[in-house]
Chains A and B, each alone.
Chain A
């Protein structure tokens, strides 16, 4: 932390006063435009939605936005005009960054000005920002978020086990072993997940009459079976990316093919496939939303089903916005955690994949 502060101080020392003014102007434009608006909204109250409309269309908000535009334009103009004449690299960075921040502020302010000039701006705000309608649904939101997470993790766990197994089969030299695994993978990748969910649901729960099997469990298994096909391809690519010598060295030490896979090849492949695997998991988390199209029971609803039911009861779209935020709350930390894990795995093992 202190090292980072020190680097910042060095950087600032290299900047010229003019470049810092440009940076400050751009930063201030963005802060005034976005933070200013948010603070203003918070002070005036977020509910009911008519209050929001009143705040956003007020003259004070107009003043905030025009100030942001003025500062932003100044930063853009001076930043882009002057950056080539800056004497140091740091000064050049500061002026370009100032211009970039200014541009973002101007875009934000123009967008908000355009929105609030709309004839039905009040209806738009009521449909998407009526936070007061959420009251009775808050508990269920947490439950739905939990369901989404549980469903995604269970399906991913199943998918990874299945995927590793399928990858082994697909890499076999024998057609009789390889072909069925390949067919399964291609079928799962070649048909829409929604169709798989519907067929599985209609086929197993309704068709075969296993009514005691919950939709949630059925859907989780189908998601896992689908994820298995994608993780199989990821594992296969990871295994094939290893040098042939790893397998040969293992075999020359007397390991069987499976031992070589287990102790040498797969552990290295897993490290290499963490990024594509995360990507696949994030997609899976989002795909749990398709389960909303099956009739989930009340307590088993995931985020989108919750949003849709809340929408149906309130005739208001705010729940969809909240569901969107719910997905981000799950996916963003995951993306961060895994990239941290990846860095850690790499730091000890510079030779691998780096």
Chain B
């Protein structure tokens, strides 16, 4: 934990892509077991913010603290820190040349240096958790989108992270497959996982989220209880956005 009791702490984060200023000074502290849902229009910087938390994007300015470590310090061993932060992508990004089992075990064996047996055991445990134990030997191309995304979640969870980041993980799925992924995430939240979730699923935001952020144009415009923001948004742009998506 960080000194202030938070698990993640962003301080004055700015991010430029060339001349394009995408994040314009973000301050955010996420406490353990919080489920922070991030909403906002496309291009507002939600993915960039999420990817800044595990330093997949290096902030142009500002600091990222995770569990008492300054990730933006050049001397920090990022590879080691990233094992504690799971990230799930909109496009799954499973390794197509590996089975579900292989997808999960490769980092366990090569990064955490577990033995083959331990890695397999842990992978099966996680596949069981997402309800795909019988698909251990299937290649990603043999799985449905929903199943692929659940394998991706299992792959991240197998590292036993302290924090899970989800970037529009249901956006690429057919409508009938969305529920199985959301259910998996809901169960994870119930088990006490700290999560930051970028999503357009307002039902999930309302029911599972413990905190809601509305982002627009690289800034956090709204931060509070999901229910109160949905019923009583303060910012004009939040109102407008919600009127489109609700």
User: Which residues of A are interface residues toward B (Cβ below 8 A)?
Assistant: 243, 245-246, 248-256, 259, 263-264, 267-268, 271, 348-352
Residues from chain B with a CB closer than 8 A to the CB of A254 are 79-80, 82-83, 107, 111-112, 159
Smallest distance from the beta carbon of A79 to chain B beta carbons, Å?
43
Please report the C-alpha to C-alpha distance between residue A251 and residue B107 in the assembled complex, in whole angstroms. 10
Rounded to whole angstroms, the CA-CA distance of A250 and B111 in the bound complex is 10
Q: Pick the residue among B85, B140, B142 that contacts A252 (CB under 8 A).
A: B85
* Interchain CA distance A259-B80 in the complex, whole Å: 13
Question: Nearest 6 A-B pairs (CB), nearest first?
Answer: A351-B141, A254-B83, A245-B93, A249-B93, A253-B107, A351-B96
For A251, give its contact among B80, B82, B110, B140 (CB under 8 Å).
B82
B91 at the interface (CB under 8 A from A): yes
Chain B nearest Cβ from A252, distance in angstroms: 4
Are B93 and A348 closer than 8 Å at their CB atoms?
A: no
B110 contacts which chain A residues (CB < 8 A)? 255, 259, 263
Interfacial chain B residues near A253, Cβ < 8 Å: 82-83, 106-107, 111, 155-156, 159
Contacts of B97 in A (CB 8 A): 267-268, 271, 349, 352
Q: In chain B, residues 65-86, which have Cβ atoms closer than 8 Å to a Cβ of chain A?
A: 79-80, 82-83, 85-86
Residues of A within 8 A of B79 (CB): 251, 254-256
25 of the cross-chain contacts (CB-CB < 8 Å) are A243-B91, A243-B93, A245-B89, A248-B89, A249-B95, A250-B95, A251-B82, A252-B56, A252-B156, A253-B156, A253-B159, A254-B79, A254-B80, A254-B111, A255-B107, A255-B110, A259-B110, A259-B111, A268-B97, A349-B141, A350-B142, A351-B139, A351-B140, A351-B141, A352-B96
Chain A residues near B87 (CB, 8 Å)?
A: 249, 252
Q: How far is the CA of A252 from the CA of B159 in the complex (A)?
A: 11
Determine if B48 is an interface residue (Cβ-Cβ < 8 Å): no
Check A349 against B159 for contact (C-beta < 8 Å): no
Are the C-beta atoms of A246 and B95 separated by less than 8 Å? yes
Nearest to B142 among chain A residues (CB) is A350
A243 to B96 CA separation, bound complex (whole angstroms):
11
- Assess whether B34 is interfacial by the CB under 8 Å rule: no
Interfacial residues of chain B within 81-136, with CB under 8 A of chain A in the complex: 82-83, 85-87, 89, 91, 93-97, 106-107, 110-112
The answer to whether A268 touches B56, judged by C-beta atoms less than 8 angstroms apart, is no
B82: which A residues are within 8 A, CB to CB?
251-254
A348 to B138, CA, bound (A): 10
Binary contact track B10-33/A, C-beta < 8 Å → 1, others 0 = 000000000000000000000000
**Chain B residue contacts of A256, Cβ below 8 A:** 79
8 Å CB interface, B161-210 against A = none
B132 CB to nearest chain A CB (Å):
17
From A249, A250, A259, A351, residue with most partner B Cβ within 10 Å: A249
Fill in one digit per residue for B39-61: 1 if any A CB lies within 8 Å of its CB, else 0: 00000000000000010100000
Most buried by B among A243, A253, A271: A253
Question: Which of the listed residues A254, A264, A352 has the most CB atoms from chain B within 10 Å of its own CB?
Answer: A254
Complexed CA–CA distance, A178 and B216 (Å): 39
In the bound assembly, the distance between CA atoms of A303 and B156 in angstroms comes to 56
Q: How far is the CA of A267 from the CA of B112 in the complex (A)?
A: 21
User: Within the assembled complex, what's the spacing in Å between the Cα atoms of A256 and B94?
Assistant: 17
* Cβ contact within 8 Å between A255 and B111: yes
Q: Are A249 and B89 CB-contacts (below 8 A) given A259-B111, A349-B139, A352-B97? A: yes
How far, in angstroms, from A321 to B213 measured CA to CA in the complex? 77
Inter-chain contacts of A259 with B (CB < 8 A): 110-111
Known pairs A248-B56, A263-B106, A350-B139. 15 more at Cβ < 8 A? A245-B91, A246-B93, A246-B95, A249-B87, A249-B152, A252-B85, A253-B83, A253-B159, A254-B82, A256-B79, A259-B111, A268-B97, A349-B97, A351-B96, A352-B141
Chain B residues positioned under 8 Å from A245 (CB to CB): 89, 91, 93
Nearest-CB distance from B145 to chain A (Å)?
12
For B102, the closest partner residue in chain A by CB is A263
A190 → B minimal CB distance (Å): 33
Chain B residues within 8 Å of A350, by CB: 139, 141-142
A237 to B124, CA, bound (A): 36
B47 to chain A, nearest CB (A): 11
In the complex, which of the residues A246, A250, A252, A267 contacts B54, with contact meaning CB atoms closer than 8 Å?
A: A252
- Please name the residue on chain B nearest to A248 by beta carbon: B56
Q: How far is the CA of A235 from the CA of B141 in the complex (A)?
A: 24
- Which of B80, B110, B140 neighbours the largest number of chain A CB atoms within 10 Å of its CB? B110
CB distance from B207 to the nearest CB of A (A): 27
Question: B96 and A268: CB pair below 8 A?
Answer: yes
Residues of chain A lying within 8 A (CB to CB) of residue B95: 246, 249-250, 264, 268
Q: Which one of B56, B85, B107, B140 has the highest number of Cβ atoms from chain A below 10 Å of its Cβ?
A: B107
Q: A349 contacts B96, CB within 8 Å?
A: yes
Q: Which residues of A contact B141 (CB under 8 A)?
A: 349-352
The docked-state distance in angstroms from the alpha carbon of A235 to that of B204 is 44
Instruction: Provide the bound-state CA to CA distance between A351 and B93, in Å.
Output: 12
In the complex, which residues of chain A have a beta carbon less than 8 angstroms from the beta carbon of B111? Answer: 253-255, 259
Interchain nearest-CB distance for A255 vs B (Å): 6
What B residues does A349 contact at CB under 8 A?
Answer: 96-97, 139, 141
Chain B residues contacting A248 (CB-CB under 8 Å) are 56, 89, 93
Bound-complex Cα distance A56 to B142 (A): 60
